[in-house]
Amino acid sequence: MRLTKKELEIMALLWNSPDPMTASELVEASDDRTWKETSIWGIMKTLERKAAVIVPRQKPTGTNYARAYQPAFSIEEYTLASIADLQKSGKDGVPMNYDLLIDGLKKMKKEKGK
Protein backbone atom coordinates (compact mmCIF):
# COMPACT_ATOMS: atom_id res chain seq x y z
CA MET A 1 0.00 0.00 0.00
CA ARG A 2 1.26 3.44 -0.86
CA LEU A 3 0.24 6.50 1.08
CA THR A 4 0.36 10.04 -0.28
CA LYS A 5 2.38 12.78 1.41
CA LYS A 6 -0.77 14.20 3.04
CA GLU A 7 -1.83 10.76 4.23
CA LEU A 8 1.63 10.18 5.68
CA GLU A 9 1.46 13.52 7.52
CA ILE A 10 -1.80 12.44 9.15
CA MET A 11 -0.48 8.94 9.87
CA ALA A 12 2.61 10.45 11.54
CA LEU A 13 0.33 12.35 13.93
CA LEU A 14 -1.60 9.16 14.69
CA TRP A 15 1.56 7.06 15.09
CA ASN A 16 2.89 9.56 17.62
CA SER A 17 -0.31 9.74 19.65
CA PRO A 18 -0.90 7.29 22.50
CA ASP A 19 -4.68 7.62 22.03
CA PRO A 20 -7.07 7.63 19.06
CA MET A 21 -7.59 11.14 17.65
CA THR A 22 -10.60 12.95 16.23
CA ALA A 23 -10.41 15.18 13.14
CA SER A 24 -10.41 18.25 15.43
CA GLU A 25 -7.52 16.85 17.45
CA LEU A 26 -5.58 16.13 14.25
CA VAL A 27 -6.06 19.74 13.13
CA GLU A 28 -4.85 21.00 16.53
CA ALA A 29 -1.85 18.63 16.63
CA SER A 30 -0.54 19.52 13.18
CA ASP A 31 2.38 21.98 13.39
CA ASP A 32 3.61 21.73 9.81
CA ARG A 33 0.36 22.68 8.16
CA THR A 34 -2.90 24.42 8.86
CA TRP A 35 -5.47 21.75 8.08
CA LYS A 36 -9.19 22.31 7.84
CA GLU A 37 -11.47 19.70 9.36
CA THR A 38 -13.18 19.13 6.02
CA SER A 39 -9.79 18.28 4.46
CA ILE A 40 -9.02 15.88 7.30
CA TRP A 41 -12.36 14.11 6.87
CA GLY A 42 -11.65 13.45 3.19
CA ILE A 43 -8.19 12.10 3.97
CA MET A 44 -9.57 9.96 6.81
CA LYS A 45 -12.19 8.42 4.49
CA THR A 46 -9.41 7.52 2.05
CA LEU A 47 -7.26 6.09 4.86
CA GLU A 48 -10.24 4.00 6.03
CA ARG A 49 -10.75 2.67 2.47
CA LYS A 50 -7.06 1.77 2.36
CA ALA A 51 -7.45 0.03 5.76
CA ALA A 52 -4.72 2.25 7.20
CA VAL A 53 -6.85 3.48 10.11
CA ILE A 54 -9.56 2.05 12.30
CA VAL A 55 -12.23 3.71 14.42
CA PRO A 56 -12.17 1.87 17.74
CA ARG A 57 -14.59 4.28 19.40
CA GLN A 58 -16.26 7.65 19.34
CA LYS A 59 -15.20 10.43 21.69
CA PRO A 60 -17.55 12.89 23.33
CA THR A 61 -16.98 16.41 21.96
CA GLY A 62 -19.24 18.77 23.86
CA THR A 63 -22.81 17.67 23.17
CA ASN A 64 -21.89 15.38 20.24
CA TYR A 65 -19.63 12.43 19.54
CA ALA A 66 -16.80 12.32 17.00
CA ARG A 67 -15.05 9.40 15.35
CA ALA A 68 -11.63 8.77 16.91
CA TYR A 69 -9.04 7.24 14.58
CA GLN A 70 -6.01 5.11 15.28
CA PRO A 71 -3.49 3.50 12.93
CA ALA A 72 -4.25 -0.04 11.79
CA PHE A 73 -0.50 -0.80 11.73
CA SER A 74 2.71 0.62 13.17
CA ILE A 75 5.15 2.84 11.33
CA GLU A 76 7.63 -0.02 11.41
CA GLU A 77 5.13 -2.36 9.75
CA TYR A 78 4.36 0.25 7.09
CA THR A 79 8.05 0.87 6.40
CA LEU A 80 8.79 -2.85 6.04
CA ALA A 81 5.78 -3.35 3.76
CA SER A 82 6.82 -0.37 1.62
CA ILE A 83 10.35 -1.71 1.24
CA ALA A 84 8.97 -5.14 0.34
CA ASP A 85 6.71 -3.53 -2.30
CA LEU A 86 9.72 -1.73 -3.80
CA GLN A 87 11.71 -4.95 -3.88
CA LYS A 88 8.86 -6.79 -5.60
CA SER A 89 8.50 -4.07 -8.21
CA GLY A 90 12.23 -4.11 -8.93
CA LYS A 91 12.46 -0.33 -8.85
CA ASP A 92 15.81 1.26 -8.07
CA GLY A 93 14.43 4.61 -6.84
CA VAL A 94 12.27 5.32 -3.85
CA PRO A 95 8.98 6.85 -5.07
CA MET A 96 7.69 7.98 -1.70
CA ASN A 97 8.59 10.39 1.04
CA TYR A 98 10.66 8.38 3.49
CA ASP A 99 11.69 11.51 5.42
CA LEU A 100 8.31 11.48 7.16
CA LEU A 101 8.72 7.82 8.04
CA ILE A 102 12.24 8.31 9.36
CA ASP A 103 11.16 11.32 11.46
CA GLY A 104 8.27 9.28 12.85
CA LEU A 105 10.58 6.38 13.73
CA LYS A 106 12.98 8.75 15.51
CA LYS A 107 10.13 10.31 17.52
CA MET A 108 8.81 6.89 18.50
CA LYS A 109 12.26 5.75 19.65
CA LYS A 110 12.65 8.90 21.77
CA GLU A 111 9.21 8.33 23.34
CA LYS A 112 10.01 4.71 24.13
CA GLY A 113 13.28 5.77 25.76
CA LYS A 114 11.53 8.06 28.28
Model confidence over 40-75: pLDDT tens digits?
Answer: 889 999 999 999 999 988 888 888 889 999 999 998
Instruction: Using alpha carbons, list the distances in angstroms from residue 67 to 4, 39, 75.
Output: 22, 15, 22
pTM to 2 decimal places: 0.73
24-48 mean pLDDT = 85
How much of the chain exceeds pLDDT 70, in percent? 74
The domain segmentation of the chain, as residue ranges, is: 5-108
Strand partners, 70: 54
Give the per-residue pLDDT at 11: 95
Note whether 9 and 33 are within 8 A (CB): yes
Give the per-residue pLDDT at 42: 92
What CA dihedral angle connects 25, 18, 107 and 2, to 10 degrees?
Answer: -70
| CATH number for region 5-108 | 1.10.10.10
pLDDT of 29 > 60? The answer is yes
Going by the DSSP 8-state scheme, the letter that residue 21 receives in this structure is B
Q: Mean pLDDT over all residues of the chain?
A: 82
Instruction: Using alpha carbons, list the distances in angstroms from residue 1 to 52, 66, 91.
Output: 9, 27, 15
CA neighbours closer than 13 Å in the CB half-sphere of residue 2: 9
Helix (H) or strand (E) segment spanning residue 61: strand 53-61
pLDDT tens readout for residues 96-106: 556 666 666 66
Using DSSP, state whether 67 is helix, strand or coil: strand
Give the per-residue pLDDT at 88: 66
